[in-house]
Structures are given as structure tokens and as C-alpha cells.
Amino acid sequence: MDCLLQYDMQFSENRELREEVNMNDSTPREHRRACLRITIGLLVVWFMVSFVAAILCRDWLDASFPQIGNAPFGFWMAQQGSIICFVLILITYAVLMRRLDEKHGYSE
């Protein structure tokens, strides 16, 4: 708690950083935490679709998941599925971050 207080004081001392007009002291911290949650969440998805689905668990997925067309599931994830998921991850990131920025008054 102490260090958080200190951090807030630091922030209010530094006027330059308070670029937004109507911003209370907790906004940057909340924004940063929410941003971190989005980042970590999406990185977990990223790890699951590539490393877990296509490499670590692929034999199990090949055997026990339905085929995509005629391709075993794990193989398809490695060659096509993961790339499609990456694009979706980036779209989600752009949308979520835009909403978050607007909520905290950072939209330009």
C-alpha cells in the first residue's frame, strides 16, 4: 500500500504527464491494470493456439478432436488454424483497447 501511495504522489507531482483535462488520480493506474489484463489474457490465448494446440498437445488433439475437413485437428491448427487465430487476436486487441481508452478519456 505504501508503495502505491508513493507512486500516486509521484504522479501528481509530475504535471507533464497529466495530459488529460478531466482525469482523476486513479485513472492512469486503472487504465494500466485493465490494459495489463487484456494483454495477459490475449497472450494466454496466443500460447494456447500455437504452442499448446499445435505443438505440445497435438498428438492428443489429432486423435480425440474432430477433423477439420480431412485434416487432423492438431495438424490443421499448426498449418492454418493458429494463423487465423493470430489475426483474430489482433482484431480483439484493437477493439478492446479502443474501448478501454475511450472509457478512460484517452481517445483522440
Partner 1 sequence: MDQNTLNFIFIGISFALYIGIAFRSRATSTKEYYVAGGEVSPIANGMATAADWMSAATFISMAGTLAIGGYDGSRFLMGWTGGFVLLTILMVPYLRKFGKATVPDFIGDRFYSKVARGVAVVCAIFICMTYIMGQMNGVGVVFSQLFGIPMTPGVLIGAGIVFLYAGLGGMKGITYTQVAQYCVMAFAYTIPAIFIAIAMTNNFIPQLGFIGDFTQDGNATPFLEKVNSLNVKLGFSNYTDGSLSTINMFCITAALMCGTAGLPHVIVRFFTVKNVKAVRISACWTLAFIAVIYLTAPAIGAFSRVNLIKKLHDQEYTTAPQWFKDFEETGQMAWFDKNDDGKIQYFGKGESEKGTANVFVTTAAAKKPQYPNEDKRGKYGERLLTNDIDMSNPNELWFGGDIMIMANPHMGEAPKWMIALLMAGCIAAALSTAAGLLLVLSTSISHDLMKNIVNPNLTDKEEMRYARIAAFVSLLIATYFGINPPSTFIAETVAFAFGLAASSFFPTLLMGIFWKKLSREGAIAGMACGIGFTLGYIIYFQFLGGKPDDYLLGISPAGIGTIGMLVNFTVAFVVNLFSPPPPQHVQDMVESIRIPTGSDEVTGTH
Give the binding site for partner 1 (CB under 8 A): 10-11, 14, 16-17, 19-20, 28, 31-32, 35, 39, 42-43, 46, 50-51, 54-56, 62, 68-72, 75-76, 78-80, 82-84, 86-87, 89-91, 93-94, 97-98, 101, 106-108
From residue 39, give the alpha-carbon distance in Å to each of 7, 26, 35, 42, 68. 22, 20, 6, 5, 29
The nearest distance, CB 60 to partner 1, in angstroms, is 12
The residue among 32 and 64 lying less far from partner 1, judged by its C-beta, is 32
Cβ pair 29, 8 in contact under 8 A:
yes
Dist CA 102 CA 31 (whole Å) = 10
